[in-house]
Amino acid sequence: MYSGVHIMNNVIVLPMVIPVLMAVLLIFLRPFIRAQRWVSLGAVLVTAGISVYVLNRIQSEGILRLDFGGWLPPYGILFVADSFSMLLVLTSSVVTAVCLLYAFVSIDEARERHFFYPFVLFLVAGVNGSFLTGDLFNLFVCFEVMLLASYVLISLGGTKTQLRESIKYVAINVLSSWLFLVAIGYLYGTVGTLNMAHLSERIAEAGQTPLLTTISILFLIVFSLKAGLLLYFWLPGAYSVPPTAVAALFGALLTKVGIYALFRVFTLLFYHEPAITHTLIGIMAGITLIGGSIGAVAYKNIRQIVVYNVVIAVGFILVGLVIATPVAIEGAIYYLIHDMIVKALLFLLAGTMIALTGKVKIDEMSGLIRNYPLLGWFFFIVTFSLAGIPPLSGFIGKVLVGQGAVEAGAYGLLALAFISSVLVLYSLLRVFMNCFWGETIISQEEAVPLKSSLLLACALLVVATTGLGFGAEAISSYVSDAANTLTNPHIYINAVLR
């Protein structure tokens, strides 16, 4: 019986294996750019299809796990697929597919010949592996796969600003990876395991001692560096120098892996001393909301405005983790999925505007809607989606997090979260009014033609954000199941260890 189930569960590893195998294949297809494009797109679409299949199996069978080499937990390496991880794998696959469509017509051939597509697939493999792994050491390994690919993608092209920012980006991530290893070493030395379900049991048995709480704060620092929670000083430069398609991937996926790790670790392992750990996360989330809002309103550079909107979202999602009621966690998951889609769209739209005008400051653009009406209305939709205006995808997440904050009496965080929403709306409406309205700076004769493929990529994400808003009910059972698993650690533990 077990072997049959085991074989059936092999599908769980495919979201990581398919991108890796296709990335290796693409190295041998270096001269054939068109083949590279279609193989990479096919790989992420197949991954998305597998994610839908696994998600539906989880609804009927419960959490699935795969033990590599037949070694039963907690001794072997394992992958665990629950609704939370699979929702994120599905969203990351969809977003990557759209960013690849955009890259086909926007990335220059020199980058394409220097292994752009293989490294995008390695990045996706690292992201999906991080969502699926069931032990902390392999979370570290998958983080490193993702980061190594991102080091190449951020510096590919070799412009002066890229190299300057990539040095800072690599240095910060090498430091955080070293801290991650130190935290793993201390945790293993204290409780003698790295399997997450086993860790949860051991920490609950021991009670979260002061030593374990100190180790948890070390993990908090590591994941905050990755997610851009408070420690986001590296983020504005790093996310504004790569090509648009790469920046969209970074904005949509990389910080979200850090957020996922924070949710997993502080709901499954270190949830016994919320007065210390969750209060600390709450303070960091509040300061992140304030800092992100100031950055979004203060800058005139459209790239910086977009990047600070990424920072605001990180703070908002983690407000849901701090409140930790089922409703707030559900809202945070909705908002996390929404933010992956909408941030990719925002980066693509901003990059397209810069490509069409050759300008980066919003007071240097004007009247774009006359020549590019669809682009203008797409930007209008993304503005309202990020501000949480119904019926777009940001609305349901904001309402549920707000409801959780009211239930928990977290009025300070609630106020900060919703003031930041108003400032998001203001910062993006300012871009919209400056850049799309007013007297046009481009005559009909001078207008650069907007390639239909670029508009198609943006249109697909616009459909996704409106579809997610109108179809919130369709995914509510998956989101509720994910929130239920996060708020009841025994569900995860039973699925892995029993």
256 closest CA partner among 101, 48, 77, 93: 93
For residue 450, give the DSSP letter: P
For the chain, the residue count is 498
pLDDT at 3 over 50: no
CB under 8 Å to 314, separation ≥6 — which residues?
Answer: 227, 228, 229, 232, 255, 259, 285, 288, 292
Q: What is the mean pLDDT of the chain?
A: 93
> Coil, strand, or helix at residue 307?
helix
Q: How far is CA 262 from CA 89, 230, 317, 467, in A?
A: 17, 13, 11, 28
If you search the block for the tokens 């697929």, which residue do you land on? 81
Look at residue 278 in the predicted model and tell me its pLDDT. 94
Least confident of 204-208, 306-310, 415-419, 493-497: 204-208
- 305-363 tens-digit pLDDT: 999 999 999 999 999 999 999 999 999 999 999 999 999 999 999 999 999 888 899 98
**Band of pLDDT at residue 6, cut at 50, 70 and 90:** low
Identify the pLDDT of residue 443. 65
Q: Each residue of 108-158: pLDDT tens digit?
A: 888 999 999 999 999 999 999 999 999 999 999 999 999 999 999 999 887
Q: What is the dihedral of CA 407, 412, 413, 417, to 10 degrees?
A: 110
Is 294's pLDDT higher than 90?
yes
> Could you tell me how far CA 407 lies from the centroid of its own chain?
27
Contact between 80 and 134 (Cβ < 8 Å): yes
Question: In the chain, what are the helix, strand and coil shares in percent, each to the nearest 5?
Answer: 80, 5, 15
CB 196 within 8 A of CB 138: no
Judged against a pLDDT cut of 60, whether residue 4 lies above it is answered with: no
* Residue-wise DSSP of 190-212: HHS--BHHHHHHHHHHH---HHH
Mapped onto helix, strand or coil, the DSSP state of residue 81 is strand
Which residues lie below 8 Å from residue 287, measured CB to CB, with a gap of 6+?
230, 315
For position 95, what pLDDT does the model report? 97
Angstrom distance (rounded) from CA 162 to CA 167: 9
Compute the distance between CA of residue 357 and CA of residue 242 in angstroms, rounded to an integer. Answer: 18
**169 with 238: CB under 8 angstroms?**
yes
The reported pTM is 0.95
Model confidence over 408-425: pLDDT tens digits? 999 999 999 999 999 999
- Per-residue pLDDT, averaged over 165-171, amounts to 92
Nearest CA among 264, 189, 177, 272 for reference residue 218: 177
pLDDT tens digits for range 76-119: 889 999 999 999 999 999 999 999 999 999 998 889 999 999 99
1 pLDDT tier (thresholds 50, 70, 90): very low
Q: How far apart are CA 249 and CA 150, in angstroms?
A: 10
What is the structure's pLDDT at 309? 96
Tokens of 132: 């699926």
d(CA 292, CA 233): 11
Residue % of the chain over a pLDDT of 90: 80
Query: 61-70, 196-205, 220-229, 473-482: which has the minimum mean pLDDT?
Result: 61-70
- The reported pLDDT for the residue numbered 7 is 59
Q: Give the pLDDT confidence score for residue 358 in this predicted structure.
A: 87
pLDDT of residue 402 exceeding 60, the answer is: yes
Residue 82's contacts (CB-CB under 8 Å, 6 or more residues apart) are: 58, 63, 481, 482, 485, 492, 495
191 φ, ψ (degrees, to nearest 5): -115, -10
Burial bucket for residue 152 (CB in 10 Å: 0-12, 13-18, 19+): middle
Per-residue model confidence (pLDDT) at position 352: 94
